[in-house]
């Protein structure tokens, strides 16, 4: 995967033995020598865009073994958003945008799910059981939140607070990818723009993408944002009143470096056009 080392892809994070070690009970989930949950690029960027990537990586903390999940399953979309790490890294580099990404698998704790959502620490993902997520007590759940979820979202909040203090306009873009087939049903969209209460940027982006002429573009497809199923956009976008959108790219289009590069270049061009249009119409946030 372009832009990822072995640690971030999770290739060194699984164990041959699928039983959970006793150390899984510890309140300190990540040891000092383990990869930190937050990855950042271009932290001092003055671009109006801020990119987040909730499902960038698929690491598992050493204390949790492999969660009882076969290694082959950790390659699938249930563990992370396939291809989006490469797109996010390349796109942030191309545009000089601040990227805040999360390196650990959504199977450990999903950083785009409210705590009361069944998908927060899933017992089953699509048709795959996650044995290591069963029977957790409050302390074990809290350990996952404190080690992974909280540092990631605290960093996003800190970055957005700092931009506000500096008087910088901010447009939040949450980057994701989706599997071409889910539960046996094929998805026709190449890309979708996602939103809940505020459709300004999603519809601008949707219309620009449809003008490309070679794309099937989803409007709140294959997913729609909601308070019950999402965290990043409702909390960091809607509650702050920021212009924002979710982006979902189909995984078979970005499964290799070439596809990731093509989509990064396309999105960079379109997002720049949107930025220029917002400035021209004096609609840029904080203008």
Provide the CATH number for the domain around residue 205: 3.40.630.40
d(CA 218, CA 192): 4
Assessment of whether the complete model's pTM goes beyond 0.85: yes
At 8 the pLDDT is 53
Average pLDDT, the chain: 91
Query: For residue 265, is it within any domain?
Result: yes
- Is the pLDDT confidence value at 13 over 80? no
> Residue 136 pLDDT > 70, yes or no?
yes
Give which of 194, 78, 188 is closest to 129, Cα–Cα: 78
For 16, counting Cβ atoms within 10 Å of its Cβ (0-12 exposed, 13-18 middle, 19+ buried), the class is exposed
Residue 100 lies in a domain: yes
Minimal CA–CA distance to 260: which of 268, 221, 206, 112? 268
What mean pLDDT do residues 2-10 have?
44
Contact 50, 101 (CB under 8 A): no
Q: Is the pLDDT of residue 20 over 80?
A: no
Say yes or no to pLDDT of 19 above 50.
no
Is the residue at 9 inside a domain?
A: no
Percent of the chain at pLDDT exceeding 70: 90
In a domain, 17, yes or no: no
* Residue 20 belongs to a domain: no
CA distances, 211 to each of 41, 190, 216, 278, 280 (Å) = 30, 14, 10, 18, 20
- 3-class state of residue 38 by DSSP: strand
Q: How many domains does the chain have?
A: 1
Report yes or no on 7 lying in a domain. no
- The predicted-structure confidence for 27-42, as pLDDT tens digits, reads as follows 689 999 999 999 999 9
Is 21 part of a structural domain of the chain?
A: no
Q: Which residue has the higher pLDDT, 12 or 102?
A: 102
Helices 257-280 + 84-95 axis angle, to 10: 50
Instruction: Write out the residue range of the structural domain in which residue 233 sits.
Output: 31-280
Round to whole Å and give the CA distance between 231 and 237.
Answer: 9
Report whether pLDDT(9) > 80. no
């Amino acid at each position: 995967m372009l832009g990822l080392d072995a640690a971030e892809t999770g290739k060194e994070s699984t164990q041959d033995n699928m039983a959970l070690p006793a150390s899984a009970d510890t309140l300190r989930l990540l040891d000092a020598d383990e990869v930190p949950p937050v990855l950042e690029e271009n932290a001092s960027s003055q671009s109006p865009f801020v990119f987040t990537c909730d499902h960038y990586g698929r690491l598992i903390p050493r204390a949790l073994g492999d969660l009882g999940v076969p290694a082959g399953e950790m390659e699938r979309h249930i563990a992370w958003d396939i291809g989006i790490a490469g797109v996010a890294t390349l796109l942030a580099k191309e545009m000089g945008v601040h990227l805040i990404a999360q390196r650990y698998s959504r199977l450990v704790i999903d950083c785009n799910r409210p705590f009361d959502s069944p998908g927060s620490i899933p017992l089953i993902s699509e048709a795959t059981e996650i044995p290591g997520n069963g029977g957790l007590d409050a302390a074990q759940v809290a350990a996952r939140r404190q080690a992974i979820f909280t540092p990631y979202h605290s960093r996003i909040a800190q970055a957005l607070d700092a931009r506000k203090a500096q008087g910088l306009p901010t447009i939040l873009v949450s980057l994701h990818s989706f599997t071409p087939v889910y539960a046996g049903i094929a998805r026709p969209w190449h890309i979708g723009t996602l939103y809940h209460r505020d459709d300004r940027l999603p519809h601008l982006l949707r219309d620009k993408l449809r003008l490309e002429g070679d794309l099937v573009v989803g409007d709140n497809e294959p997913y729609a944002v909601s308070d019950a199923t999402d965290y990043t956009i409702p909390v960091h976008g809607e509650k702050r009143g920021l212009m924002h959108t979710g982006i979902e790219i189909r995984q078979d289009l970005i499964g290799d470096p070439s596809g990731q590069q093509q989509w990064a270049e396309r999105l960079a061009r379109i997002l720049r056009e949107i930025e220029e249009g917002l400035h021209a119409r004096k609609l840029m946030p904080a203008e």
